[in-house]
Structure 1
C-alpha cells in the first residue's frame, strides 16, 4: 500500500529566507509547507514563522512548535504529538504531518539515522516487503530544492517525533474543495 499526498516542498535555503536563519529554519519551513497544503490562501512566510514559533540557532523544540503554532492558528485546530499509527491515519485522511528527527535529545549520538536533527513534512508512506517507508520532503539544502525521500521507519524510529496539525472541520472542507 502506498499513499503520497501532492504536497509542494520548499527549501529552507531559499533566497527568501534570511541567510542567518537558513541552517535552523527546517521547523518553520515544515510549518510553511503544511500550511500551504492545509490553508492554501494563508499569508504566513517562513521568516515570520521562525520568529513567531521562537526558532533558535539549534532548531525548534517540539513543545514550542506545538504551543506557538496553536497560538498562531487559534482555537479549533488540533496540534499535538501523535504516534506512528495516528500519523498514518492522518495521511489516509489527506493531511500531512510534521516529523522531527532528533538523535541528540534522544541520546542516540553514535547511531546513524537519515537526519540528525531535522523537521520535515511527512507526506506519505509505503509498505514494501513488510517494511514501512516514510515519504518526506527533505526541506532542501544549499543550492538545492526540497526533494522527496523515502525513509525506512525501523532504522529511524528511536529518534522520531510526529506532530499532527488538524484544522477545524470548516477549514478541512474548504481545503478539500480546493484540491
Structure 2
C-alpha cells in the first residue's frame, strides 16, 4: 500500500519516521508515535491539546490504533473499512442495532464528533443544543426560544421555563441520542 499512497506522494521515506539504527517502539525516529506523526500533522497535534481529546498525548492509545501510516484504501488512512467501523471497535455500546435509530450514528460518527480534539465535551463538533440544531429545527419545540406552543396558563413555554432551561441542552430529555430500545419509541428519550 505504500506505493502510490499519501505518504509516498508527499516524498516521505522510511527514515522520515523510523530510525535506521534502531530505537524505541518500532524503531521510531522520535520517542512516541505522536511526536513522529505531528512533525507533519501539526493541526492534529493542536487538536489533541484541547480539553476533550482521545488519550493519545497521555500514551493510552497511538495514532496507529486508528490509522495505518503505511497505506490503506480508505480515506484518512483509516485502519478499518469506515470511520464508524473504527469508532465502534472501542465504542461498541453505541453501535446498536437499536429499535429506534438516530441516523447520524449509522451514517458517520463525525457528523457529531471530531476524532482528535474539541473544546466541547465528548469530542462534540459544537455545543449542545446548537449541535442538535444543525439538523433539527428549533422552532415549535417546547422550551426553545422560538416555541409556538403555550403552557396551560397561556404563557409561552419559553417564558415559563426561562433561558436557563433552553441552554441546558436537548439531551436533558433526549438522552439516548445514539439510539434506544425503549418500548415506547419516544424520540430517543430516556
TM-score (norm 2): 0.25
Higher relative contact order (CA 8 A, sep 6+): 1
Q: TM-score, normalised by structure 1?
A: 0.26
- Asked which structure has the greater CA Rg, the reply is 2
